[in-house]
Chains A and B, each alone.
Chain A
Amino acid sequence: MNETGANETSKYLLEARNITKVFGELRANDDVTLSLKPGEIHALLGENGAGKSTLVKIIYGSLRATSGHLFWRGRAVTVPNPAAARELGIGMVFQHFSLFDALTVTQNISLALPSDVDIGALSGRIETVSNDYGLPLRPDALVADLSVGERQRIEIVRCLLQEPRLLIMDEPTAVLTPQEADQLFVTLARLASEGCGVLYISHRLEEVRRICHDATILRHGKLAARVDPQQETAASLATLMVGTEVAAVRTDKGTAPGAPLLELSSLSLATDDQFGVSLKNINLAVRAGEIVAVAGVAGNGQGEFFDALSGELTSSNNATVKIAGVGCGREGITQRRRRDAAFVPEERLGHGAVPNFPLSENVVLTHHSVEATRLETGDGMAGSAVVRNGMIDRDAARYVNRVVTELFDVRKGTPDPEAQSLSGGNLQKFVVGREMALQPRVLVVNQPTWGVDAGAAALIRQALIDLARGGSAVLVISQDLDEIFEVADRIAVISRGEMSQAYPSEELSLERIGLLMAGAHEAVARNAGEAGAA
Chain B
Amino acid sequence: MILVLEKRSRRSQAMVWLSPVLALGITVVIGGFIFASLGLDPFKALYIYFIDPMTSLWSIEELIVKAAPLVMIGVGLAICYTANVWNIGAEGQLTMGALFGSAIPIYFTDWQSPLVLVLMLVLGAIGGALFAAIPALLKNRFGANEILTSLMLVYVAQLILDWVIRGPWKDPKGFNFPQSVSFEGWQLLPLLGEGRVHLGAVLALIAAVLLWVMMGRSLRGFEIRVIGNSPRAGAFSGFAQKKVVLFCFMLSGALAGLAGICEVAGPSGQLQPVISPGYGFTAIIVAFLGRLNPIGVIFAGILLAISYLGGEAAQVELGISDKMAQVFQGMLLFLILACETLIHYRIKLAPGRGAVKEA
Contact = CB atoms under 8 A, between A and B. Distances in A.
Consider the complex of A and B and state whether they touch directly, i.e. have CB atoms less than 8 Å apart.
yes
Interface of A: 18, 20, 24-25, 58, 64-70, 78-80, 310, 312, 332-334, 337, 343, 345, 347, 350-357, 361, 364-366, 368-369, 387, 390-392, 417-418, 421
A18 B219 contact: no
B359 interface: yes
Nearest to B226: A354
Interface stretch (B91-99, B133-141, B230-238, B334-342): B230-238
A79 B237 CA distance: 46
B9 A25 contact: yes
A390 B233 contact: no
Contact of B222 (A58, A64, A343, A368): A368
11 contacts: A18-B359, A68-B356, A350-B232, A351-B236, A354-B230, A354-B233, A364-B222, A369-B238, A390-B220, A391-B219, A392-B222
Contact of A70 (B217, B222, B356, B359): B356
B356 A78 contact: yes
A361 B222 contact: yes
Given A333-B238, A345-B236, A353-B233, A392 B359 contact: no
A80 B226 CA distance: 41
Contacts of A345: 236
A221 B235 CA distance: 37
Contact of B229 (A80, A354, A391): A354
A435 B229 CA distance: 21
Contacts of B359: 18, 20, 67-68
Q: Which of A310, A332, A354, A366 has the most CB of B within 10 A?
A: A354
A364 B233 CA distance: 11
A347 B230 CA distance: 12
Nearest to B213: A391
Given A350-B230, A356-B11, A365-B236, A64 B356 contact: yes
Q: Which of B10, B236, B237, B353 has the most CB of A within 10 A?
A: B236
Contacts of B9: 24-25, 421
Contact of A368 (B10, B219, B356): B219
B41 interface: no
Contacts of B225: 357
A391 B217 contact: yes
Interface in B243-285: none
B193 to A, nearest CB: 36
B173 interface: no
B217 A65 contact: no
B42 to A, nearest CB: 40
B349 interface: no
A392 B221 CA distance: 10
B143 to A, nearest CB: 12
A525 B235 CA distance: 38
Given A368-B222, A392-B217, A392-B219, A312 B355 contact: no
A67 B358 contact: yes
Contacts of A18: 359
Contacts of B220: 390
B226 A365 contact: yes
Q: Which of B225, B233, B235, B357 has the most CB of A within 10 A?
A: B233
B355 A357 contact: no
Contact of A312 (B219, B226, B236, B357): B236
B112 interface: no
Nearest to A313: B235
A25 B6 CA distance: 12
Given A390-B220, A392-B219, A78 B236 contact: no
B352 to A, nearest CB: 11
B350 to A, nearest CB: 11
B354 interface: yes
B222 A79 contact: no
Contacts of A333: 235-238
Given A69-B356, A351-B236, A354-B233, 18 more contacts: A20-B359, A24-B7, A58-B356, A64-B356, A312-B235, A312-B236, A333-B236, A334-B238, A351-B230, A352-B233, A355-B230, A356-B229, A357-B229, A364-B222, A365-B236, A368-B238, A390-B219, A392-B217
A310 B235 CA distance: 10
B82 to A, nearest CB: 13
Given A312-B236, A365-B236, A391-B218, A24 B6 contact: yes
